A and B are shown apart, each in its own frame.
Chain A
Amino acid sequence: MDQTEVFKKYESKTHHIGRITSIITLVMLIGAPFLIGSYLGALPDLGAAAKAFLAVGLVWLVSSIVEFLIYTPMLGSGGGYLAFITGNLINMKIPCAMTARELAGTKVGTPENEIISTISIATSSLVTIVILAVGVLLLVPLRPVLTSEALQPAFSNVVPALFGAMAYKYYRKNIRVALVPLVVMSLLFILVPSLISQTSIMIIPSGAIAILLAYLLWRKKK
């Protein structure tokens, strides 16, 4: 079997496994509150849940559609299924997959990149699962350490530390693409501070500006 055939077979089975496992996970996640409710003696109030979803859930529905459209191309097929099952996309899976791609030197859209992305997201998810399991097991001794006042600033700033490090890597390679979105976003947040709590939505215009600039530069080089 040649390599194209090998990859085609692999990818087709990935979709098959990805869909089945996503459906099973979904059923378990929706079923768990009912199972727990029956154990506690009070099933979920479906009317209240529906009202609450209309009040607060629609925002997350829109946000999920945006996330799916933006992140699936970054994650690939296998990585996409896994990342949406295990969550924590912006603060972990996306930067992890991007870093792995850079280290491995693979090109977006190639079979090699699909493999690297899936390996990196699977590994990252397993690390989180293990650390959370160990953390839950050792919750009593760990709680005072992790919640100590002295360490609070460290754990409140995991995301700034992550994006600071990533910014250096990506900005130095693409300073002509990076400067405009950074300046535009900074000005927007300075002039309209209420947008600071809307970062996930602001990724769309910022990404669009960066992609447009990158496209213009790419066309110019061709």
Chain B
Amino acid sequence: MLQQLNSGVLYLICGAIILFVAAVCVVFLVRAYRAGKALGMDEAVLKKTITASASFSVLPSIGILLGVIALSGSLGVPWPWLRLSVIGALHYETQVAEAAAEQVGMTSLDASQMTAGGFSTIALLMSICIMWGMVLSIFFNRKYAGRQTVQRSGPGFGDQAMDAMFIGLVSVYLGSYIGEFVSGKGIFHFTGSWTSLAVAAIAAAAMAVFQYFIEHKKQKWLESFTIAGSMLIGMIGAVLIGR
């Protein structure tokens, strides 16, 4: 079965969809860049945005590639490649695939139990489960994003609200690392895994060093690479802790 799931035809089907989405990204990128120029934005800022976003995305993308590798053992390579390139999310895909496998009668997501019917049903379910953000965008993006623009057009609270929302998001993850360490193996046992917490702390310390060089040593060029650099240092820390 796995041989069929890795066949050229599947690569062709999945590759064509990915190619379409890549073309969509290029269209959005080029249009936005041109509109930015037409609006009188500094081209250096636009270029810096591209550089910073590209460098930022490399490490998480390698993490996502690992998701493809993890799922390829049971679903072949082309389908996970498609799912994680388009619409999918690393933390959702494995869960949905596992749950879908159980629903089609498999005891677990396992290549030895996979049938053609099982695969196509799992694939359909994976698509249906995670398509809703796109569906909502089709119907409501214009109204909802437009309303935000109107609301935020004055001297307002918009920037603080977005920063606060993001701080809320970050706090949940940091809180979960603290919770995992303190109560992961029993409430207040302090014997849970501390790797995530330590990695977050190392990355934060690395970011502090980068900021020091940017703000006090005038190393402005570092700005585009601070997140990627801090993440890399945090991840190296994880390897050292894991040894």
Q: B residues 123-142 with Cβ under 8 Å of A?
A: 123-125, 127-138, 140-142
Q: Beta-carbon contacts of B214-243 to A below 8 Å, as 1s and 0s?
A: 000000000110110011111110110111
CB-CB under 8 A from B160, the residues of chain A are 214-215, 217-218
15 CB-based A-B contacts, threshold 8 Å: A40-B119, A68-B144, A89-B89, A99-B56, A119-B46, A122-B28, A123-B54, A126-B22, A155-B62, A165-B226, A169-B207, A177-B163, A193-B179, A196-B179, A215-B160
> How many residue pairs bridge A and B at CB < 8 Å?
572
Docked-complex contact A32 and B49, CB < 8 angstroms: no
CB-CB under 8 A from A177, the residues of chain B are 163-164, 167
Docked-complex contact B206 and A109, CB < 8 angstroms: no
Residues of A in contact (CB 8 Å), total: 157
How far does the Cβ of A108 sit from chain B's closest Cβ, in whole Å? 4
Contact of B145 among A23, A76, A186, A191 (CB under 8 A): A76
Docked-complex contact A37 and B116, CB < 8 angstroms: yes
User: What would 12 more interface pairs be, CB under 8 Å, given A116-B49, A131-B64?
Assistant: A32-B17, A52-B99, A52-B103, A52-B121, A68-B144, A70-B165, A91-B89, A114-B149, A120-B50, A150-B243, A174-B164, A214-B161
Q: Beta-carbon contacts of B24-47 to A below 8 Å, as 1s and 0s?
A: 111111011101101111000110
Docked-complex contact A91 and B90, CB < 8 angstroms: yes
CB-CB under 8 A from A69, the residues of chain B are 144
* Residues A87 and B103 in contact in the complex (CB < 8 Å), given A95-B227, A196-B176, A203-B172: no
Chain B binding site: helix, strand, loop or mixed by DSSP? helix
How far does the Cβ of B146 sit from chain A's closest Cβ, in whole Å? 7
Interface centre among A35, A118, A143 (most CB of B within 10 A): A118
Q: B residues 66-106 with Cβ under 8 Å of A?
A: 66, 68-69, 72, 77, 79, 81-82, 84-92, 96, 99-100, 103-105
Residue B201 lies at the interface, judged by CB distance under 8 Å to chain A: yes
* Residues A92 and B197 in contact in the complex (CB < 8 Å), given A67-B133, A119-B49, A171-B167: no
How long is the Cα–Cα vector from A103 to B125 in the complex, in angstroms? 39
CB-CB under 8 A from B20, the residues of chain A are 24-25, 28
Q: A residues 146-162 with Cβ under 8 Å of B?
A: 146-147, 150-162
CB-CB under 8 A from A141, the residues of chain B are none
Question: Chain B: which residue is nearest A67 at the CB level?
Answer: B133
How far does the Cβ of A90 sit from chain B's closest Cβ, in whole Å? 7
* Residues A129 and B21 in contact in the complex (CB < 8 Å), given A32-B127, A103-B224: yes
* Residues A153 and B48 in contact in the complex (CB < 8 Å), given A98-B166, A119-B32, A206-B171: no
Docked-complex contact A158 and B59, CB < 8 angstroms: yes
Q: B residues 155-186 with Cβ under 8 Å of A?
A: 156-180, 182-184
Docked-complex contact A32 and B224, CB < 8 angstroms: no
Contact of B69 among A124, A126, A143, A213 (CB under 8 A): A143
Docked-complex contact B175 and A185, CB < 8 angstroms: yes
